[in-house]
């Protein structure tokens, strides 16, 4: 009898950018790969024989990362790739849905709560109860020392959000963004604004993190959609939204969006700023042939989109001219 050698099909389980977006990570059924974001370039890979990676976060641009193995979805491993070994572990009663790692802290999400640990001794410093969800509703920003600055997660009640600042003038705000469950959460780079989508994907609201004022309401469309990613550009003048509808919507953010003017308050308790009452439509659109889940980020005037089916896209976005041009589209991972 002839011996049959069947090659196991590689599966891409998860994607994430590092904090400064210089590279992105791919958790695979056989290990992980890391690529430079822009320009696109292979960086390094690691293969494991006994397990795959279902969650993966890189610590800055270092050799240290946090990951969750496919064989133990309730255990987090902090891995030093120079030493090719785990240096610490955290175990939980339920499956880990997401995590974020910084120079000073590590944030771990489970189905109905989020726990913040000190990285030095892995002691718990905070716990936030969240509405039960499977959408990994979390967004974070860091300061110049790559330390946790602002954390945004879904709140304990349906439609609520929790904004927690870890800076010197720390604060915690809990407020209702929607009557329905939240769809996606995305902070801008300095953690002063947060964009939140509804679960049906038709509306995105932008709030001031500190004052809790609704600054903008953005209408993606009338048809329901699963919003995959939301990205602020570096100047906070543009917001890009991707979804399973195979399109990218770009929304304008006025330069004076945070200007304190006359406010109106509804019964549900939401305060609206200068532009907050009117539902604005996108100013630009572009097609994205892939309808698989993706992550996205702006680097300068270019929007980078990494798709879970192994494709890398780069779009040149010109707000003044109202144009979006696809500059690059390549299959970075073959299955």
Q: Going from the N-terminus, what domains does the chain have, and what CATH number goes with each?
A: 10-129 (2.130.10.10), 133-335 (2.130.10.10)
What backbone torsions phi and psi does residue 48 show, to the nearest 5 degrees? Answer: -115, 140
pLDDT of residue 262: 54
> Nearest-CA neighbor of 15 among 25, 5, 23, 6?
25
Q: How many CA atoms does the CB half-sphere of 298 hold within 13 Å?
A: 22
What backbone torsions phi and psi does residue 21 show, to the nearest 5 degrees? Answer: 65, 20
Q: Are 112 and 131 spatial neighbours (Cβ–Cβ below 8 Å)?
A: yes
The tens digit of pLDDT for each residue in 250-284 reads 999 999 998 866 555 555 677 888 899 899 999 99
The tens digit of pLDDT for each residue in 82-93 reads 999 999 999 999
pTM score of the predicted model:
0.93
Asked if the bond preceding 288 is cis, omega within 30° of 0, the reply is no
> Nearest-CA neighbor of 172 among 88, 237, 114, 234?
114
Examine the pLDDT at 6 and tell me if it is beyond 60: no
The tens digit of pLDDT for each residue in 203-219 reads 999 999 999 999 999 99
Q: Are 173 and 157 spatial neighbours (Cβ–Cβ below 8 Å)?
A: no
Q: How confident is the model at residue 5 (pLDDT cuts 50, 70, 90)?
A: very low
The tens digit of pLDDT for each residue in 72-129 reads 999 999 999 999 999 999 999 999 999 999 999 999 999 899 999 999 999 999 999 9
| Structure tokens belonging to residue 119 | 């990285």
């Amino acid at each position: 009898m002839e011996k049959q050698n069947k090659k196991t099909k590689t599966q891409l389980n998860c994607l994430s950018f590092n904090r400064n977006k210089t590279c992105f990570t791919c958790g695979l059924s056989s290990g992980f790969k890391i690529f430079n974001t822009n320009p696109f370039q292979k960086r390094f890979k690691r293969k494991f024989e006994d397990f795959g990676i279902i969650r993966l976060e890189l610590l800055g641009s270092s050799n240290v990362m946090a990951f969750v193995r496919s064989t133990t979805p309730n255990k987090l491993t902090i891995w030093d790739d120079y030493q090719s070994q785990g240096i610490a572990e955290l175990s939980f009663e339920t499956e880990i849905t997401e995590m974020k790692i910084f120079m000073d802290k590590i944030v771990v999400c489970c189905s109905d709560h989020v726990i913040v640990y000190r990285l030095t001794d892995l002691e718990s410093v905070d716990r936030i109860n969240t509405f039960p969800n499977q959408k990994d509703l979390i967004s974070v920003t860091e300061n110049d020392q790559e330390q946790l600055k602002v954390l945004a997660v879904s709140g304990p009640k349906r439609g609520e959000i929790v904004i927690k600042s870890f800076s010197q003038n720390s604060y915690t705000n809990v407020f209702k963004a929607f009557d329905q469950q939240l769809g996606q959460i995305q902070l801008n780079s300095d953690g002063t604004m947060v964009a939140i989508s509804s679960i049906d994907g038709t509306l995105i609201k932008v709030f001031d993190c500190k004052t809790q004022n609704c600054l903008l309401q953005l209408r993606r469309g009338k048809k329901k959609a699963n919003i995959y990613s939301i990205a602020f550009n570096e100047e906070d003048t543009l917001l890009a939204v991707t979804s399973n509808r195979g399109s990218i919507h770009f929304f304008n953010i006025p330069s004076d969006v945070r200007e304190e003017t006359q406010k109106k308050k509804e019964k549900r308790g939401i305060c609206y700023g200068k532009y907050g009452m009117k539902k604005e439509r996108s100013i630009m659109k572009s097609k994205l042939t892939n309808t698989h889940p993706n992550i996205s980020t702006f680097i300068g005037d270019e929007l980078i989109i990494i798709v879970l089916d192994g494709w890398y896209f780069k779009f040149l976005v010109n707000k003044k001219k109202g144009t979006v041009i696809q500059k690059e589209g390549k299959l970075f991972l073959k299955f």
